[in-house]
Structure 1
């Protein structure tokens, strides 16, 4: 559910055709779901009202095919995570979570939702906020 924006030349007026062309050209890991016209002042990064991140922990044996996407931990207490993750909900200053060199007006962010759940051999940590700081999501 990533959003991007591009300025198209006037000859691209058939958005369905453009979507098909892009999906043929993109690698298998990417897929365009829809293309819509937006106002000229829309910016994918600065106009977003909410953002969400999911962090995935696997408690079983490491898998090299998942190593770029999953954190492997042997001993995880899901109940403790579920209890503690709720502490993130609300308005907080996340200055200590950001990478140095960030150019932001404020380091305060609002976390609307934060929860953890188990799905098969995975524990998923979910965060939804009005924004995240640079490298806050790493």
Structure 2
């Protein structure tokens, strides 16, 4: 059976998350339903694998999944057919590629990139409502960068890990955190970019929520290092809401979507 990689974008707002659930709408189920209209295997209940299981409300601009189909589709025609059958769900297949049988969206990945959007402005959001986290007052980006520097590298991230995280170890290597600040009409936007081979459950949201407290002046940058060293979930700052978070990309030894 030919294996295909799918590059997927979605608005996570209407969904309970990526993973299929019996009684809740999910992104996985939306894609599998579309595949079921094109392929007998998925009509009979075949499943796709994904690089990351995003939580309820979390978005993606670069999720990757793989699917084994009975028909050897032309990749462009498959993407067009899937997008037709995905309507009106806020899910789009950006690209499809034929891949080797041993390619696995999750286990072949060597890097995951997340982006978090935070907007500081007094007025409520309109166009970006549900797509960014809004706070009322400007933040100190330099202080947040100073605090974030303590988290880069290999650490025990127990403090920044959900209590229901199923990972076998809390030790992860965070390769990079970048914080970009830019002026927007009537406010400022802060764009957090995080990169690692893999992340713990709620790790990104826990980190950004803690750094927001630094930017607001409630924490000193050194307290981020103290919280990390505590290896105690109670030492973490607030966990920020999911709707500012995006799975922005997944890296592989060879990019399956390269021209």
Q: Given the two structures, how large is their TM-score scaled by the length of structure 1?
A: 0.86
Matched with 1:38 is 99
In 2 relative to 1, CA 39–109 (structure 1 residues): closer, same or farther, beyond 3 Å? same
Matched with 1:134 is 201
Unaligned runs of 5+ in 1: none
Contact 1:116 1:125 (8 Å CA) reproduced: yes
Match of 2:82 among 10, 14, 22: 22
Residue 42 (structure 1) shift: 2.3
Matched with 1:115 is 178
Matched with 2:149 is 86
* In 2, Cα distance between equivalents of 1:79 and 1:46: 36
* In 2, Cα distance between equivalents of 1:79 and 1:101: 32
Match of 1:63 among 102, 108, 125: 125
Contact 1:86 1:115 (8 Å CA) reproduced: no
Unaligned runs of 5+ in 2: 1-61, 206-259
Contact 1:90 1:110 (8 Å CA) reproduced: yes
Residue 75 (structure 1) shift: 3.5
Q: Where is the strand percentage greater, Structure 1 or Structure 2?
A: 2
SS of the equivalent of 1:101 reads coil
Residue 17 (structure 1) shift: 0.8
Q: Where is the helix percentage greater, Structure 1 or Structure 2?
A: 2
Match of 1:97 among 132, 154, 160: 160
Count of residue pairs the alignment pairs up: 137
Residue 47 (structure 1) shift: 1.9
Residue 39 (structure 1) shift: 2.5
Residue 112 (structure 1) shift: 1.1
- The alignment status of 1:72 with 2:134, answered yes or no, reads yes
Residue 88 (structure 1) shift: 1.8
Q: Given the two structures, how large is their TM-score scaled by the length of structure 2?
A: 0.48
SS of the equivalent of 1:76 reads coil
